[in-house]
């Protein structure tokens, strides 16, 4: 060991001396710190022994006290569980009672509704029948009066014929009850000589026939009055029975509703008490669990501390061997050579990675100077014209790729042109319809000319849609080209990043090899004392409550410039290579995600344009179909005259200006389109060749 130590001292002097006139490297500093640590003596045994005796006493007393708290927690949880069961059972029973009351309420309400419906139907039947009786009695009374006048006048064939005709008229009334119709019809049949041969009797004979027509009609009147009274009595009795039934059902509904409300309140209270008890039980369970865990952690901590105390002295001897082995590895050509080869290029690689990131960001995310100018121009025009569409587009210009910005502007121009065309079509349609309406009321001949003009306008619209479809196909091709270019750039960037990451990983392996010896020792030292980690998760933690001993896991001589400082310096060396790997890996991930987003956005944009192209194709077909229909309308012009005035009132809401004239809307849209076209020109003029 002495020989190895002498060699280490020589190696340190060589590395530090070789670095004279220049900054001391992290590797040379690590070797110097290790050499100093080997010479340092560690004598902490007596202090640790006294602290551990105090710790053992604390373990015994705390374990006893916590045991009592655990027992009390079990009793509290049992009591709360019983309360929960009682309140839950009460709520369940009340819920069943409420369900039964709900069923009874539904049945009572259904019965009341059905009885009301039956009563309404019977009341309607009664009113109709009562009206028939009233009318029939009025007819009989009038007929009797007339018959008496006829019988008191000179008799004879004329009087008999008039009386017979009067009886026939009364019998023919549809509202006359069936029994009255049969009686009158039978009387008239008995007065005839034979089938199909009716002879008007003399007045006296007519009077004496079947007891006399007057007597017969008086009997009918009396019978009808009796039946009318019977009908009224029956209606009154049925109405009374319904009123009694309805009153009983309403009382039942009211009582059930009151009972239900009372039980619902009681159920809610039981559920509230059960919920409160559950909350208390959850809290008691949590506290009980923490107490049990505290006891478990306490026993583990005390056991672990005992084992750690017995091994600490042995590990002190092993530390010196670990330090000497680490010095040999750190000073080897593999580690020192790797540092000299890779670490000086880290700064340059960072700058290069930054440059690559800026290039990628500029190509895929950040706007060009022309693009920024377009954004400012559109924002200004949006404020000037009061255009929300230009304002939204201005916000997106600086956030989206160049190709997508150009596509958005072209799409918005096309959209505004479509809106202008659609509004022009609508304006033309309104003007045509209003003019047609006026001409329909004055002269139908002008209608034919207006329909022909409408056909011409739709033909122009169809041609415009066809041109739009061609433009959309061109935009799709441009999107495909942009995606292909981005794909080629991404593949080259990925290859370069892969190479950089491989170099960084090789350097990391070299540095990790140099730190393995020390890490193995200090990991072993920490594990001997801290096989169980005691992390504070609540207010009660035995690791926090325990008296001070050798509180930290044994890590050898880790104070000052000892092992802690050595490992820190080695971590700096390692972190340089890890940072190179991480930053390159992150840059690669960001570039891949940006490329993925760009491709996805382009795909969505392409899909939208394809959908728009299909939609415009459908509109072409529809417009051509409308042209054919409009031609057919020429034949039906004359049929529109009767609906002209009504149709004029229907046209007013959508065709008569309501504050903003058509000309103002056209001017505003033209200004928006002009602004977008200027922005597109600015964007294209500023695009690098």
pLDDT digits (tens, 9 = 90+) for 90-147: 989 999 999 999 998 999 999 999 999 999 999 999 998 888 888 888 888 887 887 7
Q: d(Cα 368, Cα 361) in Å, to the nearest integer?
A: 11
Q: d(Cα 300, Cα 390) in Å, to the nearest integer?
A: 69
Lowest mean pLDDT among 161-165, 240-244, 331-335, 393-397: 331-335
Q: d(Cα 139, Cα 96) in Å, to the nearest integer?
A: 64
Given a cut of 70, is residue 201 above it in pLDDT? Answer: no
pLDDT digits (tens, 9 = 90+) for 462-495: 888 888 888 888 888 888 888 888 888 888 888 8
Lowest mean pLDDT among 103-112, 128-137, 358-367, 425-434: 358-367
Across 181-187, average pLDDT:
73
- Exposed, middle or buried by CB within 10 Å (0-12, 13-18, 19+), for 539? exposed
Given a cut of 70, is residue 222 above it in pLDDT? Answer: yes
pTM confidence score = 0.32
Beta bridge partners of 197: 194
Given a cut of 70, is residue 595 above it in pLDDT? Answer: yes
Determine which helix (DSSP H) or strand (DSSP E) holds 550, and give its type and residue range.
Answer: none
**Residue 20 three-state SS:** coil
Are 651 and 432 a contacting pair, CB within 8 Å? no
Report DSSP letters for 390-422, one per residue.
HHHHHHHHTTS-HHHHHHHHHHHHHHHHHHHHH
**What's the confidence (pLDDT) of residue 20?**
46
Are 301 and 485 a contacting pair, CB within 8 Å? no
Determine which helix (DSSP H) or strand (DSSP E) holds 658, and give its type and residue range.
Answer: none
**What's the confidence (pLDDT) of residue 627?**
82
Given a cut of 90, is residue 236 above it in pLDDT? Answer: yes
Average pLDDT, the chain: 74
**What's the confidence (pLDDT) of residue 362?**
42
CA atoms within 13 A on the CB side of 616: 23
pLDDT digits (tens, 9 = 90+) for 17-61: 544 444 566 767 777 777 777 776 566 666 777 777 888 888 888
**What's the confidence (pLDDT) of residue 431?**
75
Given a cut of 60, is residue 265 above it in pLDDT? Answer: yes
**Residue 197 three-state SS:** strand
Report DSSP letters for 226-266, one per residue.
HHHHHHHHHHHHHHHHHHHHHHHHHHHHHHHHHHHHHHHHH
Given a cut of 60, is residue 350 above it in pLDDT? Answer: no
Are 164 and 174 a contacting pair, CB within 8 Å? no
Lowest mean pLDDT among 176-190, 290-304, 374-388, 389-403: 389-403
pLDDT grade, residue 639 (50/70/90)? low
Given a cut of 50, is residue 583 above it in pLDDT? Answer: yes
**What's the confidence (pLDDT) of residue 395?**
64
Q: d(Cα 504, Cα 574) in Å, to the nearest integer?
A: 10
**What's the confidence (pLDDT) of residue 88?**
92
Lowest mean pLDDT among 7-11, 81-85, 152-156: 7-11
- Give the CA angle between residues 459, 463, 469 to the nearest 5°: 145
Tell me how far apart the 2 most distant CA atoms of the chain are, in Å.
172
Are 91 and 271 a contacting pair, CB within 8 Å? yes
Contacts 24+ apart (CB under 8 A), 293-297: 294/66, 294/540, 294/541, 294/542, 295/63, 295/66, 295/67, 295/70, 297/532, 297/534, 297/541, 297/542, 297/543
Residue 288: count other Cβ atoms within 10 Å of its Cβ: 19
pLDDT digits (tens, 9 = 90+) for 492-537: 888 888 887 776 777 677 677 777 777 777 777 666 544 444 444 4
Cα 323 off chain centre by: 62
**What's the confidence (pLDDT) of residue 389?**
67
Given a cut of 50, is residue 419 above it in pLDDT? Answer: yes
Percent of the chain topping pLDDT 90? 10
Q: Which residue has the higher pLDDT, 199 or 398?
A: 398
Q: Which residue has the higher pLDDT, 549 or 624?
A: 624
Q: Which residue has the higher pLDDT, 564 or 491?
A: 491
**What's the confidence (pLDDT) of residue 96?**
93
Percent of the chain topping pLDDT 70? 69
Are 552 and 63 a contacting pair, CB within 8 Å? no
Across 336-343, average pLDDT:
51
Across 542-549, average pLDDT:
76
Given a cut of 70, is residue 190 above it in pLDDT? Answer: no
**What's the confidence (pLDDT) of residue 279?**
92
Q: d(Cα 171, Cα 33) in Å, to the nearest integer?
A: 136
Given a cut of 70, is residue 349 above it in pLDDT? Answer: no
CA trace torsion 51, 56, 60, 61 (10° rounding): -10
Determine which helix (DSSP H) or strand (DSSP E) holds 495, and give its type and residue range.
Answer: helix 446-529
> Which of 66-80, 227-241, 617-631 has the highest average model confidence (pLDDT)?
227-241
Beta bridge partners of 194: 197
pLDDT grade, residue 194 (50/70/90)? very low
- Give the CA angle between residues 109, 115, 117 to the nearest 5°: 100
The dihedral through the CA atoms of 16, 17, 21, 22 has a sign that is negative
**What's the confidence (pLDDT) of residue 613?**
85
Q: Which residue has the higher pLDDT, 474 or 374?
A: 474
Q: d(Cα 456, Cα 450) in Å, to the nearest integer?
A: 10
Share in percent of the chain as helix, strand, coil (round to 5) = 85, 0, 15
The b/e string for 207-216 (b: 16+ C-beta within 10 A; e otherwise) is bebeebbbeb
**What's the confidence (pLDDT) of residue 202?**
46
- Exposed, middle or buried by CB within 10 Å (0-12, 13-18, 19+), for 137? middle
């Amino acid at each position: 060991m002495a020989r190895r130590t002498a060699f280490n001292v020589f190696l340190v002097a060589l590395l530090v001396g070789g670095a004279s006139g220049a900054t001391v490297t992290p590797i040379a500093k690590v070797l110097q710190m290790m050499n100093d640590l080997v010479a340092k003596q560690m004598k902490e045994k007596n202090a640790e022994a006294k602290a551990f005796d105090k710790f053992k006493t604390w373990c015994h007393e705390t374990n006893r006290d916590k045991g009592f708290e655990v027992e009390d927690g079990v009793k509290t949880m049992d009591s709360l569980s019983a309360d929960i069961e009682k309140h839950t059972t009460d709520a369940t029973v009340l819920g069943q009672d409420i369900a039964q009351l709900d069923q009874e309420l539904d049945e009572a309400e259904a019965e009341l509704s059905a009885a009301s419906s039956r009563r309404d139907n019977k009341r309607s039947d009664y009113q109709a029948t009562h009206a028939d009786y009233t009318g029939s009695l009025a007819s009989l009374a009038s007929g009797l009066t007339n018959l008496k006048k006829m019988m008191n006048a000179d008799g004879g064939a004329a009087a008999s014929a008039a009386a017979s005709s009067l009886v026939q008229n009364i019998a023919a009334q549809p509202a006359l009850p069936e029994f009255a119709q049969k009686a009158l019809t039978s009387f008239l049949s008995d007065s005839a000589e034979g089938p199909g041969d009716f002879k008007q009797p003399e007045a006296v004979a007519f009077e004496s026939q079947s007891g006399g027509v007057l007597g017969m009609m008086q009997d009918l009147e009396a019978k009808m009055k009796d039946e009318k009274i019977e009908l009224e009595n029956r209606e009154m009795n049925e109405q009374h029975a319904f009123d009694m039934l309805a009153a009983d059902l309403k009382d039942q509904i009211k009582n059930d509703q009151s009972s239900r409300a009372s039980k619902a309140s009681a159920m809610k209270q039981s559920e509230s008490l059960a919920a409160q008890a559950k909350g208390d039980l959850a809290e008691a369970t949590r506290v009980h669990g923490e107490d049990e865990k505290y006891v478990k952690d306490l026993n583990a901590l005390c056991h672990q501390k005992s084992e750690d105390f017995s091994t600490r002295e042995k590990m002190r001897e092993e530390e010196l061997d670990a330090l000497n082995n680490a010095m040999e590895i750190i000073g080897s050509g593999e580690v020192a050579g790797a540092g000299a080869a890779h670490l000086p290029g880290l700064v340059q690689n960072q700058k290069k990675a930054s440059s690559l990131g800026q290039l990628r960001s500029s190509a895929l995310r950040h706007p060009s100077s022309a693009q920024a100018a377009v954004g400012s121009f559109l924002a200004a025009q949006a404020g000037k014209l009061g255009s929300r569409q230009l304002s939204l587009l201005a916000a997106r210009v600086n956030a989206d790729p160049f190709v997508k910005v150009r596509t958005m502007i072209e799409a918005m121009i096309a959209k505004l042109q479509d809106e202008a065309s659609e509004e022009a079509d609508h304006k033309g349609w309104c003007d045509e319809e209003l003019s047609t309406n006026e001409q329909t009321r004055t002269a139908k001949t002008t209608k034919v000319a207006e329909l022909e003009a409408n056909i011409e306008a739709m033909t122009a619209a169809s041609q415009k849609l066809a041109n739009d479809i061609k433009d959309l196909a061109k935009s799709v091709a441009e999107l495909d080209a942009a995606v292909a270019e981005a794909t080629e750039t991404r593949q080259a960037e990925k290859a370069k990043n892969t190479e950089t990451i491989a170099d960084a990983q090789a350097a990391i392996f070299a540095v990790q090899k140099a730190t393995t010896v020390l890490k193995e020792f200090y990991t072993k030292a920490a594990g001997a004392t801290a096989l169980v980690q005691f992390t504070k998760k609540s207010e009660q933690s035995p690791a926090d409550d325990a008296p001070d001993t050798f509180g930290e896991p044994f890590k050898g001589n880790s104070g000052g410039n000892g092992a802690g400082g050595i490992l820190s310096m080695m971590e700096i060396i390692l972190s340089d290579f890890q940072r190179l790997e991480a930053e390159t890996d992150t840059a690669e991930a960001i570039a891949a995600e940006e490329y993925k987003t760009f491709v996805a956005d382009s795909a969505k944009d392409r899909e939208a344009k394809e959908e728009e192209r299909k939609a415009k194709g459908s509109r072409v077909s529809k417009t051509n179909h409308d042209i054919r229909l409009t031609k057919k309308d020429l034949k039906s012009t004359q049929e529109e005259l009767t609906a002209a005035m009504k149709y004029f009132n229907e046209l007013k809401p959508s065709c008569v200006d309501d504050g903003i004239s058509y000309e103002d809307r056209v001017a505003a849209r033209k200004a928006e389109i002009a602004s977008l076209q200027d922005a597109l020109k600015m964007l294209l003029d500023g695009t690098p060749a």
